Amino acid sequence: MRETLAAVAAGELTPAEAEAQLRGYTTITDGDRGARFDTAREGRRGVPEGILAEGKTTAEVAAVTERAVETTGRAVVTRVGDEAAARVATTVRERHPEATVERDERARTLVVHAPDFALPSVDGTVAVVAAGLADAHAAGEAAVIAREAGPTVKRYDDVGVANLDRALDVVPALREADAVIVAAGREGALPTVIAGRLDTPVIGLPVSAGYGAGGDGQAALLGLLQSCTVLSVVNVDAGFVAGTQAALIARQ
């Protein structure tokens, strides 16, 4: 503690950085409200904390993102719209002009890296499979989160069971992965089919894509929960959870 306080006095650490070291989190206040960003999550869990933009004001998203970059060298923002993404990019670049800002519009993610930030090195591979392009938003979120935890991430898009040949064609490549995420909407059949061909852990990611009754992801979720082939299942559109779980498997 004394060394940390001395570093603040010498101007080598900001108060936010010192708080992050001492408490494991940093506090961002806005009037009578405040947010606490978990700066120690990566060291404790092996995966970075994500900043969920939904439900927050644009100013709140920007403030938490800037503080994350200041204290950990990185920020991972999910479910971020165009307005918030633009505000975050402007705020971050004002404080960290050389930071990189990467936006995936379909996945609705935004990742910021400070100039001296380096991704962790994990000798593992995560495969992310999407049944159709309508499932790519959830698959993309999963891929971003898995990549930020360190494993190599490989994507396989539009391989749904309407033409089983295209699904079976990617199976040999999937066997090389340490963990496989399969995103599918409608009836959610693809994860079950893929899992039946692999000895690799498969995570089913049901997607809110489809028509009419059950088309909001309910049919896919229930189908995966009743899968005859053994696999794990996350919630509808929960790409963040799927990517995190796959990354933790790959780390082993």
Tokens of residue 121, six digits: 């090195």
> CATH topology for 125-251?
Rossmann fold (3.40.50)
pLDDT, block means (10 residues), the chain with 252 residues: 52 55 64 70 82 90 88 92 89 86 94 90 93 94 95 94 91 96 94 95 95 91 94 96 96 86
Query: pLDDT, tens digit, for every residue of 199-251?
Result: 999 999 999 998 998 889 999 999 999 999 999 999 999 999 999 999 999 98
Q: If we measure between CA atoms, which residue out of 182, 188, 72, 178 comes closest to residue 138?
A: 182
Neighbours of 16 (CB within 10 A): 17
What pTM was estimated for this model as a whole? 0.87
Domain ranges of the chain: 2-113, 125-251
